[in-house]
Amino acid sequence: MNELLELNRKFLINGYLWISGILSIGFSVYLFFFYSEVSSKWILIIYSLTLIVLPLFILSVWISDWFRKRRYKKRILTKKPYSELEKIGFTKKTIKTNHNSLVDYVQFAEINGSEIIFDINIRKPKIAEFSIYGLTNHLNSKEYLQKAKELDYLKIDFSRYAFTKSIDTKKEKLNSIQELEKILMELTHIAKKEKYEPISITETKPVSNTV
């Protein structure tokens, strides 16, 4: 909870104010035209919903997702070889935005001169994702689409700003951390072959050692 608030306090407060404001303004506009059709009792009830209940409910869903993603990631990190990521350099942490705009810490390492971030997608909780962030603006649209199609066969998601290797931790059993390191080395070779322009990652010191 400390890290949730440390990283997202301002966003949560602003989110609460925006959500309650938009809902309340929307209801106020409705009242402007149909005031005579709504009783005072229902006006109070609806304003309590727009100002307190619904905003808090939405924020609780976001927060629940934040903790749920952490649980999924911890589940992967308790299994070998992912429990040994530190052995291949994943000793640093940075901040990354989740799907719901809340942020959290993620581990990253420098392998073969490339910085690689480890994360998961909450919609695919058994998939480990290793990403190298960099720009490939030198590719035109046709070249980009062709390259994305080629890399898809290697289970690498290629975008304008990242190369992401996805590993199904349930179906793809890796025997050792060295085997995983070899896969990540191959990812760096692919990224370098495409002459990507690295996006620098800033290390952040978390308040605790939990990811």
Question: Which residues make beta-bridge pairs with 124?
Answer: 121
Asked if the model's pLDDT at residue 6 lies above 60, the reply is yes
Most confident segment among 18-27, 40-49, 117-126, 134-143: 117-126
Shared domain for 12 and 39, answered yes or no, is yes
Token pair of 44, please?
A: 């109070």
Please give the average per-residue pLDDT across 70-94, as a whole number: 94
Q: Residue 155: give its domain's CATH number.
A: 3.30.1460
For the ranges 16-20, 116-120, 128-132, the lowest mean pLDDT is seen at 16-20
Residue 138's SS3 state is coil
Asked if the model's pLDDT at residue 65 lies above 70, the reply is yes
Task: Check residues 47 and 172 and name the one with the higher pLDDT.
Answer: 172
Shared domain for 18 and 99, answered yes or no, is no
Residue 29 CB coordination number (10 Å): 10
Please give the average per-residue pLDDT across 117-139, as a whole number: 92
Residue carrying structure tokens 């990521």: 85
- E strand map for the chain: 92-97, 103-111, 114-121, 124-135, 156-158, 162-168, 197-198
For the ranges 18-32, 36-50, 77-91, 166-180, the lowest mean pLDDT is seen at 36-50
What does DSSP say about strands 124-135 and 114-121: parallel, antiparallel, or unpaired?
Answer: antiparallel
Token pair of 77, please?
A: 């990190």
**CB of 27 closer than 8 Å to CB of 74:** no
Asked if the model's pLDDT at residue 210 lies above 70, the reply is no
- Asked whether residue 59 is assigned to any structural domain, the reply reads yes
Shared domain for 70 and 81, answered yes or no, is no
Shared domain for 128 and 184, answered yes or no, is yes
Shared domain for 89 and 159, answered yes or no, is yes
Number of domains in the chain: 2
- Asked whether residue 111 is assigned to any structural domain, the reply reads yes
Shared domain for 149 and 45, answered yes or no, is no
- Residue 39, pLDDT score: 73
Shared domain for 82 and 68, answered yes or no, is no
Asked if the model's pLDDT at residue 99 lies above 90, the reply is no
Whole domain around residue 123: which residue ranges?
A: 76-198
Asked if the model's pLDDT at residue 95 lies above 90, the reply is yes
Q: Which of 74, 92, 123 is the last residue of a domain?
A: 74
Distance CA 40, CA 47 (A): 11
Distance CA 64, CA 100 (A): 11
Q: CA neighbours within 13 Å on the CB side: how many for 11?
A: 15
Mean pLDDT taken over the chain: 89
Asked if the model's pLDDT at residue 136 lies above 90, the reply is no
**CB of 188 closer than 8 Å to CB of 116:** yes
With bands split at pLDDT 50, 70 and 90, how would you rate the model's confidence at 166? very high
Shared domain for 38 and 55, answered yes or no, is yes
Asked if the model's pLDDT at residue 209 lies above 60, the reply is no
Please give the average per-residue pLDDT across 110-134, as a whole number: 94
